Structure 1
Amino acid sequence: MTTPGGRREARKAATRRAIQEHALRLFLAQGYDATTVEQISSAAGVSHMTFFRHFPTKESVVDTDDHDPMIAALIRDRPPDEEPVTAIHRAILQGLAAVLPDGRDVLLERTRLVLSTPALRARQADNQLATRRLFASALADRAGLAEPTYRMQVLAAAALAALTTALAEWSDGGGATALDALVDEAFTILRAARR
């Protein structure tokens, strides 16, 4: 049985997904800069205020998702004796296995949009910092530490750079090469560079 709170959360998630899907469609059809929040709201069948309850800015409708928290949770669940870069690598692959079957095209278009839109690229540094901290904290939690060590922070940053490079390569190639294969290759290169 679904609780009232569960139904409310499901409705919120559905509204959020609808706003993002309509935004992406409009961005692709008429360009990011030419698309207004009002157009997105209208296409999604929600008010301007509802848009801003879900997304504080137009940029956030593109770069907001649940992928990073999901990967962080998967990192926490990796065996504690597993080497940190391996834990992140395997958690990313588990996350991709969950996201790609239904969300491949959306992820590809969002990645293309971020890489080709100056306003979104400018936000990427802040987003990457937040993701690096999230991954490093997950490594610390997995090791039973209150705070990540400097080593964990560096390893999280290196792993995130490998993932970001794989995403860019995937996007540049139009998604022709499997993203998980590119991620595997990026982490192989990363491990080889540490020797």
Structure 2
Amino acid sequence: MPAEPEMGLGLRERKKLRTRATIREQAMRLFAEKGYGETTVEQIAEAAEISPSTFFRYFPSKEQLVLIDDYDPVMIRRFQEQPPGVPVLTALRRSMEQVFGEMSPEQLEREMARQRLIRSVPELRAAQLDELQRTIEMLADGVAARMGRPRGDLESRAFAGSVVGAIMGALGDNLLSLEKIGQALDYFEAGFPFKS
């Protein structure tokens, strides 16, 4: 579940968030026990005490259950909430620090397990490109809105793609390192200078 509190949400919305978290938790447990390829949607649904049709109301597929990053929308919302005078890269850094800083140790471990699974299953690793594109588009829309630019403009898209690429490149096999992300953003902000 994202680092957003359930406060302010109605009973139905809170129940949906808990059901979604239960489905994902049971799926990750089964993947660890049986393997990703050997685990079926039916087994996940049974473990989560829901029907397969309910599973598909929350996730379009087993693959998407793993790939969808619940923290991206929270981060973009935090990015938009930064004061208007804050430079765009600083606003992005602060939003990441807030979201990662609010994650409980359990949430952080679940996210690390999700990242490890993506890296260990070839079809998930390949499909992650589509999810990265969604992240870039979401960030580009947030940047455009923050900068008062038209949605989908070249500069916002190039900025978002460059930032995501810099972070991915810096992280390498480090699944979630706020320190590495910070270094990537520093390098990005400095204009990618090569030191001798």
- The TM-score range, normalised by the shorter chain, is 0.7 to 0.9
Query: TM-score, normalised to structure 2's length?
Result: 0.85
| Match runs of 1:47-66 below 5 Å | 47-66=51-70
Q: Is there any run of 5+ residues in structure 1 with no aligned partner, and where? A: none
Q: Assess, with a 3 A threshold, how the Cα gap between structure 1 residues 102 and 165 changes in structure 2: closer, same or farther.
A: farther
Instruction: Give the distance between the partners of 2:77 and 2:173, measured in 1 at CA.
Output: 26
CA contact (8 A) 1:19 1:40 kept: yes
Q: CA deviation at 1:93?
A: 1.6
Q: 1:128 aligns with which of 107, 128, 132?
A: 132
Percent of matched pairs sharing the same residue: 34
Instruction: Give the distance between the partners of 2:33 and 2:53, measured in 1 at CA.
Output: 24
Q: Give the corresponding residue for 2:190.
A: 192
CA contact (8 A) 1:77 1:142 kept: no
Q: Deviations over 1:69-89 (max 9, x none)?
A: 111112212233433333222
Q: Deviations over 1:117-174 (max 9, x none)?
A: 1121122111111111111111111122332432221111121123334554323xxx
Residues 1:138 and 2:142 are matched in the alignment = yes
| Match runs of 1:152-163 below 5 Å | 152-163=156-167
User: Secondary structure in 1 aligned to 2:62?
Assistant: coil
User: Secondary structure in 2 aligned to 1:59?
Assistant: helix
Aligned pair count? Answer: 186
Q: Deviations over 1:77-125 (max 9, x none)?
A: 2233433333222222222112354411100000011111112112211
Q: CA deviation at 1:46?
A: 1.0
Query: TM-score, normalised to structure 1's length?
Result: 0.85
Q: 2:29 aligns with which of 8, 13, 25?
A: 25
Instruction: Give the distance between the partners of 2:169 and 2:49, measured in 1 at CA.
Output: 36
Instruction: Give the distance between the partners of 1:109 and 1:101, measured in 2 at CA.
Output: 12
Instruction: Give the distance between the partners of 2:113 and 2:126, measured in 1 at CA.
Output: 18
| Match runs of 1:175-190 below 5 Å | 179-190=177-188
Shift >4 Å, 4+ stretches: none
Q: Which one has the bigger helix percentage?
A: 1
Instruction: Give the distance between the partners of 1:148 and 1:81, measured in 2 at CA.
Output: 22
Q: Is there any run of 5+ residues in structure 2 with no aligned partner, and where? A: 1-5
The alignment's C-alpha RMSD in Å is 2.1
Q: CA deviation at 1:57?
A: 0.4
